A and B are shown apart, each in its own frame.
Chain A
Amino acid sequence: MIRIRFARALGLAAIAVAAQAGAAAAQQTLPPASEIVEKYVRAIGGHDAIARLQARHMTAELSMPAMGMTMTMESFAARPDKSVMHMSMNGMQMAEGYDGQVAWSSDPMNGPRIIDGAELAQRQDMASFDNALDFAKVFPKLETIGEKTVNGKACWNVRMTGQRGTVQEGCFDKESGLLVATHAVRQSRMGEIPVDATYGEYKQFDGVLIPTVSTISQGGQQLVVTLKSLSHDPVPASTFELPAEVKALQH
């Protein structure tokens, strides 16, 4: 058994080395990641347009067509890194948020929870208001790792690494520069969950292009998120205050 495992490990190491060598060879012809994400910023409206946005209020419908389920979602975000999201499923209200220091979740099924560990690190890495707008600001390390075709669109695949080690891949349309897909491994209470998403039907909101339909695949299930409304009007600071049941956990 040990010998088999050792042999398998050697085999995996060989594959990894071969893959790295291949990647190194391929990288010689790949455009720099900084150029790809910069093109994306220009494609969605440019740095100035993004910088003008100070807050965000979104409503969306989440559907799982195969399961015959529909949920509603309302989210708020504000610079630099505050966010809160409310979801409703079969009358059950669920919420989660980050106030710049504390990441939390609360729902009738699990009760209130203050998030810690790897889950917290990932949330902090992804907490920036500019996440999904200006990747260079959010992810200190960017590298082009290849090219793919997603929904018929050829795209450059960029690996983005956050301050605390969160890794996300983003694929940017070679032609338009827009983000067409992401791949990440989400840290959750239940363990690590690979999440693949595609983005489409970009529309302009206050000078910035935002995808209005996202299709998320995780755990063998598909979730379609359809944007219903989006506003960049100011959001009251009280929106991001911890709910009473989460505050109670701090005592």
Chain B
Amino acid sequence: MTLRICIALAAIALAASASHAQTRHPSRGRPITPALAEATFDSAWSVIDHTLWDTTVANTLWRQARADLRPRALRARTAEELRDVMEEMVGRLPYSHFEVIAGEVSDSLSAAPAGRGDAGMEVRLVGGRYLVTRVEPGGPAAAAGVRPGWVVDAVGTRTARRILELVGQVPAAKEARGRQLYAWIAMTGALKGPPGTRLRVRFLDGADRPVTRELALREPAGAMTEKFGNLPTLAITWDSRRVRAADGTTAGVIRFNYWMPVVMARLNAAVDSLRDTDGMIVDLRGNLGGLGLMASGFAGHFLDRVDTLGVMRTRTTTLYLVSNPRRVDTQARPVRPYAGPLAVLTDAMTGSTSEFFAGGLQQLGRVRVFGEPSAAAALPALAVKLPDGDVLLHAVADFTGKTGKRFEGIGVTPDLAAPPTRAALLAGHDPALDAALAWIAETRRSRASAR
């Protein structure tokens, strides 16, 4: 079983490095023996050396990384110092999905629901400012009167400006999409806390007036958690609903933030309940990935023949993400795979498995993609425990869609660009969703006239 692990793990790394940046002191940290440092470094290096699909990179850059950095690793006296060296080592690889995740961060995130309290809103970095792009009906932000299009200016004592300065220190955030991703990760983390606590947030309203609101954090609606192998516990959000356009067009909207097993039964049930709609919209904005096989599995609901979403090439094998057409519903009744128009919404936080799904079906001509270019971080990866307790996330294969196009470093390009704008949000619009709905309505009309 091959996993695509979400780049959300970068969030953990970022949170960890951010906290280290503020608190690290030469005399502090988890002590580590030279033997353990050596075993941990060698283990991490060897795992990647054995699995890196590009042997040219393995034989040159990767060997050099070991030669350069091993002496420093052996001098490390704390787990944090060693992690810095190993992060530098994996950072030399020109790919996503290589991270060293602090064991204590992973463990603490796995142990308690401390960070599950949610403000009931989503934010994105738009034009250098954090915009509220979505307010969950009935959620804490809605209760406090927060509106889409408002700007988040400060969370507690942390200003948005300071958060963005920290983000700027992350090497991967130098590039525009990386900056958007890490900025989102940082702010999303800042807007979370223990359920029941109150979070003071300063906004700029639609007229750019400072407005402070107290948000009572709570478990997000429909929230679930999942602990999958060495990954930290993930807080899963889920929403499926039916929307109706002014002309009577109906569409099913399915939105979730991770491809994890706990979501699969809901996905199947959602497709069943929305079969009668004129079109379906899978909203993968903010969905960083998860279990890769779920992408081809879910795609089977929309394909009427066995087909390939993509190809994974490891050093020794070539494996295909094959979709099985779903000809039976959740009640064991024969059905045909959904044949209506299918739209997928993407943004810079649409990563990994979400890119397999959106890009794979796009290459098959089965979906129309709306929104913004995706994260461009799409490689099959595994997460293994290291001798010192840290977790190494490492990609194990190259990945292309059926037509041979790679998503890593490129991403999925929308068929129709529909980025969020402040004006649209303040007017109550969601440009990507609106565009998808308009396309479904147009498809419905053209199919009707063809009959």
A contacts, CB < 8 Å to B: 64, 66-69, 89-92, 108-113, 189-194, 219-221, 243-245, 247-249, 251
For the complex, what is the distance from the CA of A124 to the CA of B411, rounded to whole Å? 42
Min CB distance, B90 to chain A, in Å? 17
Could you jot down 7 A-B contacts, CB within 8 Å? A66-B384, A68-B383, A110-B296, A111-B326, A191-B320, A220-B396, A221-B1
Since A190-B321, A192-B317, A249-B328 are in contact, a sample of 19 more A-B pairs with Cβ atoms closer than 8 Å, ordered by chain A residue number, is A64-B229, A67-B384, A68-B385, A69-B229, A89-B261, A108-B268, A109-B297, A110-B293, A111-B297, A111-B324, A111-B327, A112-B328, A190-B320, A191-B320, A219-B314, A220-B50, A221-B382, A244-B332, A249-B334
Given contacts A67-B229, A221-B1, contact A110 B319 (CB under 8 A): no
**Are A191 and B317 in contact (CB-based, < 8 A)?**
yes
B277 at the interface (CB under 8 A from A): no
User: Which residues on the B side are within 8 Å of A247 (C-beta)?
Assistant: 332
User: Which residues on the A side are within 8 Å of B324 (C-beta)?
Assistant: 110-111, 113, 189
Given contacts A109-B293, A221-B1, A249-B328, contact A67 B268 (CB under 8 A): no
For the complex, what is the distance from the CA of A109 to the CA of B3, rounded to whole Å? 13
CB-contact partner of A91 in B261, B291, B317, under 8 A: B261
Q: Which residue on B lies nearest to A220, using beta carbons?
A: B51
**Are A194 and B328 in contact (CB-based, < 8 A)?**
no
**Are B2 and A219 in contact (CB-based, < 8 A)?**
yes
B contacts, CB < 8 Å to A: 1-3, 50-51, 226-230, 260-262, 264-265, 268, 291, 293-294, 296-297, 300, 314, 316-322, 324, 326-328, 332-334, 382-385, 396
For the complex, what is the distance from the CA of A220 to the CA of B397, rounded to whole Å? 11
For the complex, what is the distance from the CA of A67 to the CA of B2, rounded to whole Å? 11
User: Which residues on the A side are within 8 Å of B51 (C-beta)?
Assistant: 220
User: Which residues on the B side are within 8 Å of A244 (C-beta)?
Assistant: 332
**Are A248 and B333 in contact (CB-based, < 8 A)?**
yes
**Are A108 and B328 in contact (CB-based, < 8 A)?**
no
For the complex, what is the distance from the CA of A108 to the CA of B301, rounded to whole Å? 12
**Are B261 and A110 in contact (CB-based, < 8 A)?**
no
Min CB distance, A195 to chain B, in Å? 11
Min CB distance, B291 to chain A, in Å? 8
For the complex, what is the distance from the CA of A110 to the CA of B322, rounded to whole Å? 9
**Are A90 and B297 in contact (CB-based, < 8 A)?**
no
Min CB distance, B115 to chain A, in Å? 20
User: Which residues on the B side are within 8 Å of A220 (C-beta)?
Assistant: 50-51, 314, 316, 382, 396
Min CB distance, A105 to chain B, in Å? 9
Q: Which residue on B lies nearest to A106, using beta carbons?
A: B328
Q: Which residue on A lies nearest to B321, using beta carbons?
A: A190
**Are B332 and A245 in contact (CB-based, < 8 A)?**
yes
Min CB distance, A15 to chain B, in Å? 18
CB-contact partner of B261 in A92, A113, A190, under 8 A: A92
**Are B228 and A193 in contact (CB-based, < 8 A)?**
no
User: Which residues on the A side are within 8 Å of B230 (C-beta)?
Assistant: 67-69
For the complex, what is the distance from the CA of A110 to the CA of B314, rounded to whole Å? 23
**Are B328 and A245 in contact (CB-based, < 8 A)?**
yes
Min CB distance, A189 to chain B, in Å? 5
For the complex, what is the distance from the CA of A175 to the CA of B321, rounded to whole Å? 44
User: Which residues on the A side are within 8 Å of B328 (C-beta)?
Assistant: 111-112, 245, 248-249
Given contacts A66-B385, A108-B264, A248-B332, contact A193 B317 (CB under 8 A): yes
For the complex, what is the distance from the CA of A108 to the CA of B153, rounded to whole Å? 43
For the complex, what is the distance from the CA of A112 to the CA of B227, rounded to whole Å? 26
Min CB distance, B230 to chain A, in Å? 4
**Are A108 and B229 in contact (CB-based, < 8 A)?**
no
Given contacts A109-B294, A111-B328, contact A68 B229 (CB under 8 A): yes
Q: Which residue on A lies nearest to B392, using beta carbons?
A: A66
**Are B264 and A194 in contact (CB-based, < 8 A)?**
no
For the complex, what is the distance from the CA of A112 to the CA of B301, rounded to whole Å? 12
Q: Which residue on B lies nearest to A223, using beta carbons?
A: B1
For the complex, what is the distance from the CA of A112 to the CA of B333, rounded to whole Å? 11
User: Which residues on the B side are within 8 Å of A194 (C-beta)?
Assistant: 316-317
For the complex, what is the distance from the CA of A152 to the CA of B229, rounded to whole Å? 31
**Are A90 and B228 in contact (CB-based, < 8 A)?**
yes
Min CB distance, B175 to chain A, in Å? 30
For the complex, what is the distance from the CA of A67 to the CA of B320, rounded to whole Å? 22
**Are A92 and B264 in contact (CB-based, < 8 A)?**
yes
For the complex, what is the distance from the CA of A69 to the CA of B297, rounded to whole Å? 21
Q: Which of A109, A189, A192, A243 has the most CB of B within 10 A?
A: A109
Min CB distance, A82 to chain B, in Å? 21
For the complex, what is the distance from the CA of A21 to the CA of B254, rounded to whole Å? 61
User: Which residues on the A side are within 8 Å of B320 (C-beta)?
Assistant: 189-191
Min CB distance, A14 to chain B, in Å? 23
Nearest 9 interchain pairs by C-beta: A109-B297, A68-B230, A244-B332, A69-B229, A92-B261, A108-B264, A245-B332, A190-B319, A90-B261
Min CB distance, A108 to chain B, in Å? 4
For the complex, what is the distance from the CA of A243 to the CA of B296, rounded to whole Å? 23
Min CB distance, A162 to chain B, in Å? 22
**Are B319 and A191 in contact (CB-based, < 8 A)?**
yes
Min CB distance, B247 to chain A, in Å? 33
For the complex, what is the distance from the CA of A193 to the CA of B320, rounded to whole Å? 11
Min CB distance, A112 to chain B, in Å? 5
**Are B317 and A219 in contact (CB-based, < 8 A)?**
yes
Q: Which of A111, A194, A220, A249 has the most CB of B within 10 A?
A: A111
**Are B262 and A90 in contact (CB-based, < 8 A)?**
yes
User: Which residues on the B side are within 8 Å of A193 (C-beta)?
Assistant: 317, 319
For the complex, what is the distance from the CA of A244 to the CA of B228, rounded to whole Å? 29
Min CB distance, A65 to chain B, in Å? 8
For the complex, what is the distance from the CA of A248 to the CA of B319, rounded to whole Å? 29
For the complex, what is the distance from the CA of A92 to the CA of B261, rounded to whole Å? 6
User: Which residues on the A side are within 8 Å of B321 (C-beta)?
Assistant: 190
Min CB distance, A92 to chain B, in Å? 4
For the complex, what is the distance from the CA of A248 to the CA of B134, rounded to whole Å? 41
For the complex, what is the distance from the CA of A193 to the CA of B51, rounded to whole Å? 15
For the complex, what is the distance from the CA of A245 to the CA of B272, rounded to whole Å? 14
User: Which residues on the B side are within 8 Å of A192 (C-beta)?
Assistant: 317
